[in-house]
């Protein structure tokens, strides 16, 4: 795997991008971990992982086999800001690095990180959910469009994992298993590096179908209280 290069966006200490960087590195790949703030990736220096501020250094990348579009946000932003980060940034990354992926003879792959909330309705998160649903949809289309060029397109659909993602302002707290982030990351890498990887990789604490959690969702989101006030 030493001749395979993977670029991961949205990497910061304690996040899924950081865990994936370590997992790919331990699998023997050359990892390029990227973020807008390079200081957020200082922990990766101990692993010997290359880091860069992607906005400034993208032109320096001359070889690429795997692109992981991990950057995203789930906290309170305007609809445009969330779509710019969760959807349009991934579209732009594919446009920029597609020429390098087309040159790869080493199982070129694109991985787009979405969420189970792209298929499960949760109140107060409609903009976030829809931005990820849009990414899930374009991932499926890109899979067909790039198949003739031997480029695999995988959707990484995650539920709750132990990361700092929920530390962002405006994101509700959830109870997740301690130190669970690296085991899922290693299993994701294992699936990605298979000869015939799955089109969609599901990881994280799975959620029950909506019909089983509707009452719980209404209670947690206080929608039941709002409904009572409206009817009074």
| Spatial separation of the C-alpha atoms in residues 71 and 132, rounded to whole Å | 11
**CATH H-level, domain 5-207: superfamily:** NAD(P)-binding Rossmann-like Domain (3.40.50.720)
What pLDDT shows up at residue 211? 52
Q: In a 10 Å sphere around its CB, with 0-12 CB exposed, 13-18 middle and 19+ buried, how is residue 43 labelled?
A: middle
Concerning whether 144 is annotated as a catalytic residue, the answer is: no
8-22, 51-65, 144-158, 178-192: lowest mean pLDDT where? 178-192
pLDDT tier at 170 (50, 70, 90 boundaries)?
very low
Concerning whether 128 is annotated as a catalytic residue, the answer is: yes
Q: Name the average pLDDT for the chain.
A: 82
List 128, 168, 182, 194, catalytic entry: 128
List 4, 30, 40, 132, catalytic entry: 132
Interhelix angle for 182-192 vs 16-26, to 10°? 60
pTM for the structure as a whole: 0.80
| Spatial separation of the C-alpha atoms in residues 222 and 231, rounded to whole Å | 15
């Amino acid at each position: 795997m030493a001749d395979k290069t993977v670029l991961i966006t949205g990497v910061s200490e304690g996040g899924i991008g950081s865990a994936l960087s370590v997992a790919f590195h331990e699998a023997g790949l050359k990892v390029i971990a990227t973020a807008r703030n390079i200081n957020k990736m200082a922990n990766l220096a101990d692993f010997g992982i290359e880091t860069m501020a992607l906005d400034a250094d993208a032109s320096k990348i001359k070889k690429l086999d795997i692109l992981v579009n991990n950057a995203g946000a789930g906290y309170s932003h305007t609809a445009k800001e969330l779509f710019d980060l969760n959807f349009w940034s991934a579209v732009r990354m594919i446009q920029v690095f597609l020429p390098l992926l087309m040159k790869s003879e080493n199982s070129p792959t694109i991985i787009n990180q979405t969420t189970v909330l792209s298929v499960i309705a949760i109140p107060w998160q409609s903009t976030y959910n829809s931005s990820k649903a849009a990414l899930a949809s374009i991932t499926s289309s890109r899979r067909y469009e790039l198949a003739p060029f031997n480029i695999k397109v995988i959707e990484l659909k995650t539920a709750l994992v132990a990361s700092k993602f929920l530390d962002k302002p405006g994101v509700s707290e959830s109870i997740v298993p301690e130190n669970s982030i690296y085991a899922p990351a290693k299993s994701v890498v294992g699936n990605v590096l298979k000869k015939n990887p799955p089109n969609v990789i599901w990881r994280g604490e799975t959620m029950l179908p909506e019909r089983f959690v509707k009452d719980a969702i209404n209670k947690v989101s206080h929608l039941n209280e709002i409904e009572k006030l409206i009817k009074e």
